[in-house]
Amino acid sequence: MGRPRTAVGTFGDFTYLPAGNGKVKARVRFRDDDGQLRLVQATGDSRKAAERALKLKLSRRDNFSAGSRDLSADSTFARLVDGVCCTDR
């Protein structure tokens, strides 16, 4: 049996790579609001610094919406329908 799917708005395990000049790159796959996994990465002077920078980047990450960027978790269904399916009005 495979791993459970990463939930929307969450991320998996961090990976670390050398980034040159003694720096470290931290990377993680983040599941955006549209359900797609996207690679997010940040660089720091050490592994911990790269991890902190990546966590900060994740906390400030804008929600990605396939339809309209002005929709939020608090948007009504009517707002969703107006913005996505009825663009020819």
For residue 83, pLDDT over 80 is answered with: no
For residues 41-54, average pLDDT? 96
Rounded Cα gap, residues 49 and 83, in angstroms = 40
pLDDT of residue 33: 83
Q: What are the residues facing 24 on neighbouring strands? A: 18, 44
Higher-confidence position of 71 and 13: 13
The helix or strand, by DSSP H or E, that contains position 78, with its residue range, turns out to be helix 77-84
Average pLDDT over the chain, rounded to whole? 82
pTM of the model: 0.65
